[in-house]
Structure 1
Amino acid sequence: MKILELSPFSAGICGVWTRVLGEAERLAKNHEVHVFSSNIERGTGKNKIVKPYEVINKVKITRFPAKASFGQNTFFWGFTEEALKLKPDIIITHAYRQYYSTKALKIAKRLGVPCFLVTHAPFLDKKLRNWKLNSAVFLYDKLIGKRILNQYTKIIAITKWEIPYLLNLGCKKDKIIYIPNGIPEEFFKQKKEKEQNKILFLGRIAPIKDIETLIKAFSLMVDKKIKLEIVGPAEKDYLNELKALSTRLNLKQRIIFSKPIYDLKEKIKKIDSARIFVLSSKREGMPQSLIEAMARQKIVVSSKSDGGKEIINGGQNGYLFTIGNAQELAEKIDISLSRNQKEIKKEAKKSVEQFSWDKLIKKIENYILNDVKV
């Protein structure tokens, strides 16, 4: 079967791209899989242009020039002609409210093939958008979203918390399938490395991650010997702000800023090296890094984002704190460091075993590829 997946990005660090690549690599073992995307690299804030064609583990990636943008995540790129030439048997488009996801429906109808939409939990707090984006979201949902959602073969929700939003937009309940993002099996199988006395943040270093709250919390902690390591691709201006904050709080000697890690084995080793994993984001749809850390039996502390609350049952498999509350975060980290957390570590791993790609790809095969029946 020839499968076409559409993604806003196919280079850098991006939650959508992580899902697309993980899914595509596994589908490519038995099918011909193509990915179409913009030619923009995600994660550094530089809008770096990447090469137009690449093959990763049998996944054929074609990137199209970004002609215009609307916000940080929406780029317009033309792919209709190439998609029609490709003649896929199925189209899987990623991210609701993207113009290419709307275009995918028209292409699928012309080709007479099924079209699936993977939503990627775009229903964030209005306070996190500017007025222009909020207006665009309102108009899209009102004029386009309610009209087209039920035209997709199925809607794939990556979280449970977003399903009420989809229903409120008029999406029929029997149209919705829940298939979360997966993590590689290596997170459950790779040999553990020795822990160091440090706290870890691993992810995109961008304002939405609210790392300043983590740094402020770090300054309030009881333990003044433990270190904090911040790892990931960084938006330069934001990184400079964080470094300046570290200096003002006299934490320069205890905070390490490290480059991004793209090698899977090295990433797992980095997670293993920490005692505590913290995700302080203002917003998370489905926090991949949190799930990865839990699979490595780490004590995790997350903000009460929608994604964080869905994964963490406070006090049983990790800890939650109020978004932006540095004092509360410091207290939760102090608790994590002062208690025997053996049972919480076990429960953390157990609670995320469902996110193994080996399990999820079977669900995708059953729901989407087997005669497109649910």
Structure 2
Amino acid sequence: MKIMILSSYAPTLFYFREDMMKAMMNSGHEVIAAAPESEKEWGQKFKERKIKYVSIEGIERTGTNPIKDIVGFFSILKVIKREKPDKVFAYQAKTIIYGCIAAKLVGVKGIYALMGGLGSVFRNNDRKSLAKDILKMEYKVAFNFCDNVFFQNKDDSKEIINAGLIKEKKIVMINGSGVNLEKFKEKPLSQNPVFLFVGRIIKDKGIIEYIEAAKIVKEKYPEARVQIVGYFDTNPTAIKEEEIYKYVNKGIIEYLGPTNDVRPFLEKCSVYVLPSYHEGTPKSVLEAMATGRPIITTDAPGCRETVVDGQNGFLVPIKNANKLAEKMIWMIQNREEVERMGKESFRMCKEKFDVNKVNKVILNTMNL
């Protein structure tokens, strides 16, 4: 069969879906990857992995221009017509909505979507939000055309069901995107207190609280290192570069820049921290667990899937820098427990979040 994987951002096809695409190819299927970035820029990178890459014009991951969205929809429609896939697998909001609708119009027989998280627009608490109302309507239409929709946490699926956007029988639960345990291996913890955050530098990831907590921690333990790895984004909740460097210059945090390989940074840290407001199931946490790191994250949708409080780390309330700092300080003061928690993270990851187990559910559901 010919399977088309639709994304609104090409790099995520490597970061989140490469193992899944390999599993599909290993089962004898042809895979086509489609995203807005140019074929000139990305075609060769995919060709090296024996995957055909096609560009879909007009889709802007965080854009709000309806004209560009219409152009994007017709571009997806054109690409699906030309490539004639047997099945379409879409993830990320815009490619789920426009991709699933386009696939149905073209007559694709197998249509699947993966919800990696509901996102900042959907989780906007403003009941009068026009953008949220439009998004709900679009999701309802798209989900109606799907054979199945994969969800990574029960909070998201419950919210979508309660909103009347999908029939419960279409939902298939998976344990995040999984993590490749051959690539991410258990490593000794740093002997020094080094806290690490990896992700987009946006408010919804809890960056503000992380910095505020860093101030508190470093007042008591000035030798502690609080690090950020990630890129500056165009998301509506994006934080400006100069705002981050204000705290770098004060010695409160270390900004280590973006990276294509988080493993060297994970290996040098002792505790992984993600104070996010909401996630699907955070892949960065799974990678930290695979390397044997204890986790501090929030008791929020998606994040709470990764931590048994007190076992492999701690869950803290969202938007609460004081509680976050309290648990970071506890990690500094309880070295033996930190070691134990790191080992428990690795055990949990191996048991629940192995990418091969996750991909098996996806491929079985898609009859591949």
Scaled by the length of structure 2, the TM-score of the pair is 0.83
Q: How many angstroms does 1:34 deviate by? A: 0.6
- List aligned pairs for 1:111-126, cutoff 5 A: 111-122=107-118, 124=120
- Residue aligning to 1:165: 159
Q: Which of residues 225, 240, 243 is equivalent to 1:241?
A: 243
Q: In the superposition, relative to structure 1, how do residues 108 and 153 fare at CA in structure 2: closer, same or farther (>3 Å)? A: same
Match of 2:341, SS state, is helix
- After TM superposition, the structure 1 = structure 2 runs for residues 88-237 of structure 1, keeping only pairs within 5 Å, are 88-96=85-93, 98=94, 101-108=97-104, 110-122=106-118, 124=120, 128=124, 134-141=129-136, 143-168=137-162, 169-179=164-174, 180-189=176-185, 192=188, 195-221=191-217, 222-235=220-233
Tell me which stretches of 4 or more aligned residues in structure 1 moved more than 6 Å.
Answer: 67-70, 72-75, 129-132
SS of match in other structure, 1:155:
strand
Structure 1 CA distance for aligned equivalents of residues 101 and 230 of structure 2? 35
- How far, CA to CA, are the matches of 1:50 and 1:192 in structure 2? 41
Structure ranking higher in helix proportion:
2
Question: Are the counterparts in 1 of residues 181 and 290 from structure 2 also a CA contact under 8 Å?
Answer: no
Q: 1:259 to 1:138 in 2, by over 3 A?
A: same
Residue in 1 that maps onto 2:36: 38
Corresponding residue for 1:290? 285
AA in 1 matched with 2:157: I
The 1:127/1:188 distance shift into structure 2, 3 A limit, reads: closer
1:333 aligns with 2:328: yes
SS at structure 2 position matched to 1:36:
strand
- Secondary structure in 1 aligned to 2:286? helix
**Could you tell me how far apart the structure 1 residues matched to 2:297 and 2:64 are?**
24
The residue that corresponds to 1:344 in the other structure is: 341
Shift of 1:10: 0.5
Check whether the contact 1:195–1:272 (CA below 8 A) recurs between aligned residues.
Answer: no
Q: Given residue 272 of structure 1, which amino acid in structure 2 is its aligned partner?
A: E
Query: Which residue type is aligned with residue 54 of structure 2?
Result: T
**CA distance 1:188–1:306, shift in 2 (3 Å):** same
Maintained 8 Å contact 2:77/2:103: yes
1:82-132 deviation line (CA, Å, top 9, x unaligned):
211211111111135x26634434434533421111122216586758889
- Give the distance between the partners of 1:88 and 1:21, measured in 2 at CA: 18
Which residue of structure 1 aligns with residue 52 of structure 2? 60
* Distance change in 2, residues 1:188/1:68 (3 Å): closer
Q: Which of 294, 297, 300 matches 1:299?
A: 294
The 8 Å contact of residues 7 and 20 in structure 1, kept in 2 or not, is answered as no
Alignment: residue pair count:
349
Cα deviation for residue 31 of structure 1 reads 1.9
Deviation of 1:189 after TM superposition, in Å, equals 3.4
Q: Secondary structure at the match of 1:277?
A: strand
Segments of 5+ residues of structure 2 without an aligned counterpart are none
Shift of 1:175: 1.2
Q: CA deviation at 1:161?
A: 2.0
Equivalent residues of 1:212, 1:242 under 8 A apart = no
2:317 is the alignment partner of 1:315: no
Identity of aligned residues (%): 22
* Pairing 1:84–2:44 present: no
Check 1:238–1:210 CA distance in 2 against 1; reply closer, same or farther (3 A cut).
Answer: farther
Check whether the contact 1:187–1:296 (CA below 8 A) recurs between aligned residues.
no
Q: Secondary structure at the match of 2:180?
A: coil
Query: Which amino acid letter does the alignment assign opposite residue 231 of structure 2?
Result: P
Sort the Cα spacing of 1:288 and 1:330 in 2 relative to 1 into closer, same or farther, 3 A: same
Shift of 1:304: 2.5
Tell me if structure 2 keeps the 8 A contact 1:52–1:64: no
Aligned-pair CA distance for 1:366: 1.6
Counterparts in 2 of 1:290 and 1:367: CA distance versus 1, 3 Å:
same
Give the match's secondary structure for 2:330: helix
- Say whether 1:279 aligns with 2:274: yes
Change (3 A) 1:357 1:244: same
